[in-house]
Amino acid sequence: MIDHQVPAVTSWRDALRRTPAAWKVAVVVGVLGWFFTIGTSTTRTINGVSDCDGTDLGPLVVAAIVAVLAVVGHRRSQQGHVATRLPKRWAWIGLGVLGALVLVHVLRTVLDPAGGMC
């Protein structure tokens, strides 16, 4: 019987080499997503007091893109030659990091729906 055990990660460089490209793109999208806004806003002034209502959907779009890239990357991390696969432990850590990034962008919308629109 052939042993198909995934070799251990030997260094950070090795871990980065084995990390799926989709995850690398997801991190870039997640970080640049802080500057991305999509939505509308309305501003009213009554007796000199301004009130702004708006919805910024940008963080939700970014969260959805990062989530899709996380799933695609996880599938890719478990395919291919055994020497290029991520060990399951590293794959779960990667998914946890990307999941936290998704959660942060969703919370940005929940806690401040107007976001960058006002």
> So what's the pLDDT on residue 6?
66
Six-digit token string for 62: 């970014």
pLDDT digits (tens, 9 = 90+) for 45-61: 888 888 878 888 899 99
pLDDT digits (tens, 9 = 90+) for 20-49: 999 999 999 999 999 988 888 788 888 888
Domain ranges of the chain: 12-117
Residue 12 burial by Cβ neighbours in a 10 Å radius (0-12, 13-18, 19+): exposed
Specify which residues 39 forms β-bridges with.
56
Query: pTM of the full predicted structure?
Result: 0.81
**How many whole angstroms separate alpha carbon 77 and alpha carbon 60?**
25
